[in-house]
Amino acid sequence: MLSAVIGVMPELISLQKHEVEWLLEYLERVPELVTRDVIHRDETHSHALYIESGCIGEFVEYQGKQRLLAIHRSGHVIQLKAEVHVQAHKSIFRCLTSCKVWRMALPAIRELDAHQQDVAERFLQGLLWNELLFLRTCSYEAQFEDRDAWKAWIKRNAGALPGLTQDEIGDYLNRSAATLSRWTHADDHG
């Protein structure tokens, strides 16, 4: 599993084989099967989730409403809490399908020796970079406007849709339910 996690790390992080082996030893890995549930956040420990299968929606409370911010799919790593990561918005992670995830406790960096600290920090760096670029993609998505872009989005996220309400989808795409219905109708009729 960890080799898959390392696989999603940016190339420039360049973790070595023996470092990967150390991480494998060090990270506490627990496979979990979760179904249509809110992922438990542990506020006291830094940890991340690797999604082996399924889709997880990231929601935030904004202007009095819980809004879908992003959809994380298999292969993504989600940071639930990291020492270096100060979040202005507390995200709520909800399974949109049945998911198999791996919960990883991230090392308490200050307790490690210098080399291990370096490895752990590069690992965290990889998570942060991934998240930044992923959010940039979400930001592009937040601006798409036309029916073709919407169709592509629906196709990409087909597996996640049963876990979302029409309101949440409309909200995510910044379109009214009526517009989405019109697009669907037009689609049904070629």
Partner 1 sequence: MTMGNPYVFQLCQVLLQGDKELEAAMHHFADAFEGPFIAQPGETLLRYGDKRPLTFCIQSGWGFAQSMLPSGTLRNFELIIPNSILANEDMLFYGRPMQAALVAKTEIVYYTLDHPKYLASLEDVHAWNQLFNRICSGLIPIRKQRILDLKVMSKPELLARLLQRFPDVFTYCTQEEIASYLNVSRSTLSRMLRKN
Positions in the binding site for partner 1 (CB under 8 A): 10-12, 60, 62-63, 67, 69-70, 82, 84-89, 114, 117-118, 121-122, 124-125, 128-129, 131-133, 135-136, 138-140, 142-145, 171-172, 174
In which order are the strands placed within the sheet that holds 47-53? 28-35, 98-105, 47-53, 77-81
What residues have CB less than 8 Å from 36, skipping those under 6 apart?
94, 95, 96, 97, 98, 163
Q: Containing H/E element for 98?
A: strand 98-105
Q: Considering beta carbons, is residue 100 or 144 the nearer one to partner 1?
A: 144
Q: Considering beta carbons, is residue 34 or 119 the nearer one to partner 1?
A: 119
Q: Considering beta carbons, is residue 72 or 122 the nearer one to partner 1?
A: 122
Q: Considering beta carbons, is residue 1 or 62 the nearer one to partner 1?
A: 62
Q: Work out how close the CB of 18 gets to partner 1 at its nearest, in angstroms, rounded to a whole number.
A: 19
CA distance 135 to 91: 13
Q: Work out how close the CB of 109 gets to partner 1 at its nearest, in angstroms, rounded to a whole number.
A: 9
Q: Work out how close the CB of 169 gets to partner 1 at its nearest, in angstroms, rounded to a whole number.
A: 12
Q: Work out how close the CB of 185 gets to partner 1 at its nearest, in angstroms, rounded to a whole number.
A: 22
Alpha helix stretches (DSSP H) within 8-49: 17-26
Q: 138, 167, 168, 166: which is closest to 153 by C-alpha? A: 138
